[in-house]
Structure 1
Amino acid sequence: MRAVSELRTFVVDDDGRTRVADWEQHNADLLVELACSLPDGPFRAREVNLQVDRVHLALVTGTPHAVARDAAMVAERPADAIVAYAALRGEALVEHDGRRFVVRPGQLLLCDVDRPLVRGFGHGLEELAVKVPRAAFAETTGLTSLAGPVVVDAGGQDADPYARALVRLVGRAVAAEVPVAADESAVLELVSVLATGDRSSPTLAHRVAARSFIDDHLTDPQLCAADVAAGVGISERHLSRVFADAGTSVPRQILARRLDLAHALLATGRGERTVDVAARCGFTSASYFSQSFRRRFGRPAGEVGRPPAAP
């Protein structure tokens, strides 16, 4: 069974029904505590949240405003986390670790939010956020913090492949029409590679690339270890060792992610036949799909997305 909470959406519309204080409290409870300052005029914002085991994911949109974590807030109420912010729309003017810089749409900022931070969104924002607890960050990187903020391109031809993969993975989980559960291990490994750069272990970098390749080709019924190895540029034998180091295998990774996709499609409640969903997700055997689905989620695929039976 997956340890994943439901997607939760919070909306603030500063017209007297909901106050900015509610927005600040919501973020303090679920993401990162920030003080919000507003220009003249109404403030509107929306946040979609998803907790995946230890990692928290969010899609945040809002009208122009600024947020800050000053030294007093950090000292009194530390977040104890590393956060990645991927800008989808709107520039952010950032002050962090003694630096002042701009994060533009298509870029990703990785920072330690227990250092004073100011971000201003003069034209509003739409961004993805990934919050990684410091303990989980330390487990995957061997680091307790970042030497400084990391800014990388996550979109376009010159995009960092790991930043682009992280944005796609998180976007599928919180911003897609049919949200697909995020792979927590992949999220942690992607953040680790982005944080350590050239110092990342080749094994970790190869596994992250392989997980990303698998996610991008799930619906191909012929997807196999040979395809993944070729996509990553390593041998099948080395690919097997890369996944064995994480206690899994390429076939198990493919199966798990196909089942996540199938669950997401069935959960929409559109009434698709399970056999059709199975085929869409790359399964060539309906019986194998049914057995695997029940084993993974603890109930038949046909029960997902159905309205509860009347008493």
Structure 2
Amino acid sequence: MRVVPEARTFEVGDAADVGAWERHNAEALVELACVIPAGSFRAREVNVQVDRLRLAHVTGTPHTVARDAALVESRPVDAIAVYAALRGEALLESGGRRRVVRPGQLLVCDADRPFLRGFGHGLEELAVTVPRAAFAELTGLDSVAEPLVVDAAGAGADPHARALVRLVGRSVAADVRVPADERAVLELVSVLATGSRGPLALAHRAAARAYIDDHLTDPTLSAASVAAGAGISERQLSRVFADADTSLPRQILARRLDLAHALLASGAAARTVDVAARCGFASPSYFSQAFRRRFGLSAGEVRRNAAS
């Protein structure tokens, strides 16, 4: 049985709670020192742990956060951090350089290199922390030399950045939270960090995984459509999944079952047969068998548990 991660929410509603906010982030994401302007401070964070990854949806009123050299030395987190700005500009100071990260942009940085981020007009963002060891497995690198800012929205957006925002957003910010595919997140972050220097097969597989997640409800999803979406041939598509010790049918099945479980566990599903159809399963009986094998419970049991 695969345990589907649950989201937890932490909120503060007063300037006096800034210490609690710092402690929560130290435990759930990245330890930061927080400075707030005079007046009230409100913030909310939805956190999800997906295997080795920590994901979050963060909102807050104006404040500044920092990891200075002393904090990095005393409390290293040994992780690569990714922040996707949804609302509010963020001033970034790192390595003696200043820049502004705007809504629709994505920041990739080493969480153990000092930085300061200021949110003069408040913020809404998605955050991901990737353990350094997991990052090194895919990239052969142990760090991001300097912060990278990538467009994740608009006409010139990087498709991998855009895909990462959608994938993480569905996991932490949607009404029905679909567990993120850990491998897809790792691959997308790795592609963004390495750019043209990274393995081409990794970029192709990341694009294919993202395309699958965007089209899970399409019953006609096929090798041909995924290959076209990733910009490669069907033979290449088969090869890049084989390189990761899996296959395209296994990837599609696993992600459709994740979606089905999320729908059933949300309590919004009326009938399991409707969930099966919505998740692209042509055969309700095949769906039922595959669901029980994956989760150790029937789809009906998950639905009834959610309703009770």
Question: If the length of structure 2 is used for normalisation, what is the TM-score?
Answer: 0.97
1:270 deviates by 2.4
- Determine whether 1:47 maps to 2:55: no
Partner of 1:59: 57
Counterparts in 2 of 1:285 and 1:206: CA distance versus 1, 3 Å = same
- Determine whether 1:30 maps to 2:28: yes
Distance 2:83 2:63 in 1: 16
8 Å contact kept, 2:292–2:299:
yes
Partner of 1:192: 190
Partner of 1:227: 225
Give the aligned length: 308
RMSD across aligned positions (CA): 1.3
Matches within 5 A, 1:207-222: 207-222=205-220
Partner of 1:14: 14
**1:83 paired residue among 56, 69, 81:** 81
Query: Per-residue CA shift, 1:57-115, capped at 9, x if unaligned?
Result: 00000000000111001001101110000000000001012211000000000000111
Distance 2:174 2:268 in 1: 16
- Point out where structure 1 has 5 or more consecutive residues left out of the alignment: none
Partner of 2:161: 163
Counterparts in 2 of 1:15 and 1:33: CA distance versus 1, 3 Å = closer
Query: Per-residue CA shift, 1:40-64, capped at 9, x if unaligned?
Result: 1100000000000001000000000
Distance 2:209 2:126 in 1: 20
Partner of 1:97: 95
Matches within 5 A, 1:190-269: 190-269=188-267
Task: Find the residue that maps to 2:304 and give its secondary structure.
Answer: coil
Task: Find the residue that maps to 1:39 and give its secondary structure.
Answer: coil
Distance 1:152 1:52 in 2: 24
Distance 2:139 2:132 in 1: 10
Distance 2:156 2:306 in 1: 48
Counterparts in 2 of 1:309 and 1:177: CA distance versus 1, 3 Å = closer
Distance 1:4 1:269 in 2: 15
Distance 1:233 1:36 in 2: 43
Which residue type is aligned with residue 36 of structure 2?
L
Distance 1:282 1:232 in 2: 20
Task: Find the residue that maps to 2:303 and give its secondary structure.
Answer: coil
**2:108 paired residue among 107, 110, 127:** 110
Distance 1:296 1:248 in 2: 16
Q: Runs of 4 or more off by more than 6 Å in structure 1?
A: none
Which residue type is aligned with residue 234 of structure 1?
I
- Point out where structure 2 has 5 or more consecutive residues left out of the alignment: none
8 Å contact kept, 2:171–2:180:
yes
Partner of 2:172: 174
Task: Find the residue that maps to 2:26 and give its secondary structure.
Answer: helix
8 Å contact kept, 2:86–2:126:
yes
Identity, % of aligned positions: 74
Which residue type is aligned with residue 80 of structure 2?
I
8 Å contact kept, 1:91–1:105:
yes
1:309 deviates by 10
Distance 1:4 1:54 in 2: 13
Distance 1:68 1:261 in 2: 36
Query: Per-residue CA shift, 1:148-200, capped at 9, x if unaligned?
Result: 11100001111100000000000000001111010000000000000000011
8 Å contact kept, 1:3–1:52:
no
1:287 deviates by 0.3
Greater shift, 43-52 or 268-277, is seen at 268-277
Distance 1:31 1:4 in 2: 19
Distance 1:158 1:128 in 2: 20
